[in-house]
């Protein structure tokens, strides 16, 4: 019998949905709900693994309650919910971790017309129980570029002539840390999210790959003649989620950089929680639509050979053209 990705997802342990506002909403899973029943000591190790990721100064836990999920499961992000949704699976059942993280972030924090997302990704598991305990750790930080653009416009045009600050986007620089893992009917269930607001000076000192995160210059990676065009992955989840924003661009970068349509592969030689994949996605709303620049750097997941893969591209509307560069060091 032929199986599809959605069918394969059903082997995961069921987490019952809840009913809210006429929609079926997937609950946030807890570690004990993932995969088969694990030995107590293995479950304790997974719980400690997740706790270690969230043990960072300045972050506080978000409440993943009905209101949180009600802001996410709306026709704004999932047009198919504008009607009678009868499937037992939610439309994001096959959505990969980074795309889902960005959409969750924007549903909670609100979208900005000019923003840069820094993503750091790591796949980890309890040794010997990799299949049953795989956990995706995502650090997602959004830098609001609006105030910098407004300052430039005010300096060039004068404050009276420049557009108002609100037109450039008002909001803090915010960082989320998400622990995600597969369950039945969900490729990347969200078990815990911790949040921190970055002060302006901290944001100003932050680095996005090798560039200042608040720089207005595109982040393009190494100046190398080896960049070559590469195929752009096609999403497999139909209409789920918006397709022209930073979440969609990040998802294409992830698949192109990892060669994986789900989690990627463990990087065992890296220190705990050190990112195996880093990406920067910069998105601007223009008169002609949304334009998004993205670049990803994937470190070697094995000790030898030590190499770095870069993927970069520009997305206009839903179309994205990608380039790839392999480097040795």
Closest CA to 51 of 30, 23, 27, 28: 30
Closest CA to 198 of 25, 58, 56, 2: 58
pTM listed for this prediction = 0.87
Q: Are 215 and 91 in contact (CB under 8 A)?
A: no
- pLDDT tens per residue across all 329 residues of the chain: 333 444 333 333 333 333 333 344 443 333 334 446 889 999 999 999 999 999 999 999 999 999 999 999 999 899 888 888 888 889 999 999 999 999 999 999 999 999 999 999 999 999 999 999 999 999 999 999 999 999 999 999 998 999 999 999 999 999 999 999 999 889 999 989 999 999 999 999 999 998 999 999 989 999 999 999 999 988 665 455 678 899 999 999 999 999 999 999 888 889 999 999 999 999 999 988 899 999 999 987 665 556 789 999 999 988 999 999 998 76
Closest CA to 176 of 262, 113, 106, 94: 106
Note the pLDDT of residue 328.
75
Note the pLDDT of residue 213.
97
Cβ neighbours for 256, distance < 8 A, ≥ 6 positions apart: 230, 231, 232, 233, 296, 311, 322, 324
Q: Are 257 and 264 in contact (CB under 8 A)?
A: no
Cβ neighbours for 89, distance < 8 A, ≥ 6 positions apart: 6, 9, 185
Q: Where are the domains of the chain?
A: 18-328
């Amino acid at each position: 019998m032929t199986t599809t990705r959605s069918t394969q997802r059903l082997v995961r342990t069921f987490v019952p949905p809840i009913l809210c506002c006429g929609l079926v909403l997937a609950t946030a899973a807890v570690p004990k709900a993932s995969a088969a029943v694990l030995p107590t000591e293995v479950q304790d190790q997974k719980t400690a693994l997740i706790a270690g990721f969230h043990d960072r100064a300045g972050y506080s836990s978000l409440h993943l309650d009905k209101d949180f999920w009600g802001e996410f499961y709306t026709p704004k992000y999932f047009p198919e919910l504008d009607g009678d949704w009868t499937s037992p699976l939610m439309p994001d059942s096959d959505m990969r971790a980074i795309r889902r993280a960005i959409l969750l972030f924007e549903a909670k924090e609100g979208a900005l017309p000019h923003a840069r997302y820094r993503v750091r990704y790591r796949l980890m598991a309890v040794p010997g129980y990799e299949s049953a305990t795989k956990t995706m750790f995502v650090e997602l930080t959004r830098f609001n570029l609006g105030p910098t653009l407004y300052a430039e416009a005010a300096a060039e045009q004068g404050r009276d002539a420049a557009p108002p600050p609100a037109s450039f986007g008002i909001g803090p620089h915010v960082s989320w840390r998400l622990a995600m893992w597969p369950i039945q009917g969900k490729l990347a269930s969200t078990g815990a999210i911790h949040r921190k607001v970055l002060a302006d000076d901290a944001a100003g000192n932050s680095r996005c790959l090798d560039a200042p995160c608040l720089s207005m210059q595109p982040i393009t990676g190494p100046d190398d003649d080896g960049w070559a065009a590469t195929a752009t992955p096609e999403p497999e989840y139909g209409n789920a989620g918006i397709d022209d924003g930073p979440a969609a661009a990040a998802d294409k970068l992830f698949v192109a950089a990892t060669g994986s349509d789900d989690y990627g592969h463990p990087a065992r030689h890296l220190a705990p929680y050190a990112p195996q994949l880093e990406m920067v996605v910069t998105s601007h709303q223009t008169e002609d639509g949304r334009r998004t620049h993205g670049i990803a750097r994937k470190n070697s997941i094995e000790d030898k050979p030590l190499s770095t893969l870069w993927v970069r591209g520009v997305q206009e509307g839903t179309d994205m053209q990608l380039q790839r560069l392999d480097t040795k060091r």
